[in-house]
Amino acid sequence: MQFGRIYGIGLTILGIVLCVLQFVMSLTPRQKEVNPAQTETRTVTKTEHVTSSLPGIIGAGSLVAGIALFVTARRKDEPNPKYTVK
């Protein structure tokens, strides 16, 4: 089993998904209702945008780790000619 290649691809895909999720969350932020203020004629509601940067940070980290694992993984089916038995 090629640990580095398989898990490197998995981490890369997870990183891409989390970065896309962060991008979508930043474009369409959730709104949280804050204490409505009463005026004489109408009710005024103030909205506050709430976003979290955690998916982006974790996504970037797993993307970098996945690429590093994929690139540095050695193939087991190609033996090193230096250590072959003659």
Residue 82 maps to a domain: no
Whether 81 contacts 74, CB under 8 Å:
no
Residue 18 maps to a domain: yes
Coil, strand or helix: which one is 20? helix
Whether 16 contacts 61, CB under 8 Å:
no
> CA-CA distance, 53 to 82, in Å (whole number)?
48
- pLDDT by 10s per residue, the chain, length 86: 578 889 999 999 999 999 999 998 888 766 655 555 555 555 656 666 667 889 999 999 999 999 999 888 876 556 667 766 76
Residue 44 maps to a domain: no
Residue 57 maps to a domain: yes
Residue 58 maps to a domain: yes
Which domain range does residue 67 map to? Answer: 1-24+53-76
Say how many domains are in the chain.
Answer: 1
Residue 38 maps to a domain: no
Whether 62 contacts 15, CB under 8 Å:
yes
Residue 61 maps to a domain: yes
